[in-house]
Amino acid sequence: MRLIVTKISVGLWAAAYIKNTVKQFAPALDKPFVLGLPTGSTVLDMYAILRTFAKERLLNFQHVITFNMDEYVGLPAGHPQSYHSYMRRNLFDHVNLLPEHIFMPNGQAQDLIQECTRYEEAMVQAGGIDLFIGGIGRNGHIAFNEPGTPFNSRTHVADLTPSTREANARFFQNDLTRVPRQAITVGIGTILDAKELLFIASGVTKAAAIAHLITQPVTPTWPLTALKLHPRATLLADLEACVLLSGDLKTQLDEAMEADPHAEQWVLSVEDKEPL
Ligand code: GLP
């Protein structure tokens, strides 16, 4: 996999990448582009720029199908902190995505297991995910796949760890009792099935997770290390998220920055390690 360290905002980088990838794909009625989408604060800028692209007709969502990564269990879709609300606020209400092209797990389904199966089937029916965008949890989770989740997992109901609930309490008036305990999430196997992955990390709170991605062998203890198993995976990070880099990658970054200090980004290659 590659690590792209960018000096420009990760949001701008990611939005431009999505725009270019979708344009190059040239989606059509019989050939829709299937985009996997995350939530979280890291990608707020990315959505703001995607809205601008759509407004300025630089990006057309007409033949784009979206699948979100996850949704809390038990929160009504209209709750301001549900991922349904987040997505409406930040993207869906502002671009020309067709309602029938928007897929999100229903965290209020009567039968959650059946809902997970339905979600997996819908992705297959859409032809699979062309590009899955993701964020990174502080403990290295991807979507809501917490440490220990098997790499072959499919869409499932996940118990959120105390650290994830604490990290997300800021969205629930810092009241931990309001933070849902479970979520429906695509599995790590579901993510790895996508044709391409672009995961994004910004800020020092993600530095430990990024350092582990680089130094650890592929291990379920650090779910984001699964990215190293994918043939077309990119981790996009800002300089703050890279402050704990060490060893070979730190040397690679220092050398790249020294060679081209005015570059907007430096592309590093992360050596895959044998799974534990
Ligand atoms: C939640 C989401 C993840 C996201 C993570 C990071 O846990 N389920 O998909 O990557 O938050 O969020 P933030 O970008 O706010 O740090």
Q: Which atom of ligand 1 is nearest to the CA of 43?
A: 14
65-69 average pLDDT score: 98
Whether the per-residue pLDDT at 1 is higher than 50: the answer is yes
- Ligand 1 within 6 A of CB of 38: yes
Q: Does a structural domain hold residue 275?
A: no
How far is ligand 1, taken at its centre, from the CA of residue 39, in Å? 6
Whether the per-residue pLDDT at 245 is higher than 70: the answer is yes
Q: Does a structural domain hold residue 33?
A: yes
Q: Does a structural domain hold residue 274?
A: no
Written as one letter, the residue type at 159 is D
Closest C-alpha to 91, from 115, 64, 121, 122: 64
Q: What is the DSSP string of 71-116?
A: EESS--TTSTTSHHHHHHHHTGGGS---GGGEE---TT-SSHHHHH
pLDDT at position 274:
47
Q: Does a structural domain hold residue 97?
A: yes
pLDDT at position 215:
85
- Ligand 1 within 6 A of CB of 144: yes
Range of the domain at 254: 2-269
219-227 average pLDDT score: 96
Whether the per-residue pLDDT at 273 is higher than 70: the answer is no
Tell me how far apart the alpha carbons of residues 207 and 229 are, in angstroms, rounded to a whole number: 21
Q: Does a structural domain hold residue 276?
A: no
pLDDT at position 272:
65
Domain total of the chain: 1
Q: If you ran DSSP here, which 8-state letter would residue 160 be given?
A: P
Q: Does a structural domain hold residue 150?
A: yes
**Could you report the per-residue pLDDT of 87-136, keeping only the tens digit for each?**
999 999 999 999 999 999 999 999 999 999 999 999 999 999 999 999 99
Determine the residue of 10, 39, 43, 81 to mutate for testing ligand 1's pocket, defined as the one with the most ligand atoms within 8 A of the Cβ atom: 39
Q: Does a structural domain hold residue 182?
A: yes
CATH number at residue 265: 3.40.50.1360
Tell me how far apart the alpha carbons of residues 206 and 210 are, in angstroms, rounded to a whole number: 6
Dihedral pair phi/psi, residue 234, rounded to 5°: -125, 135
pLDDT at position 275:
45
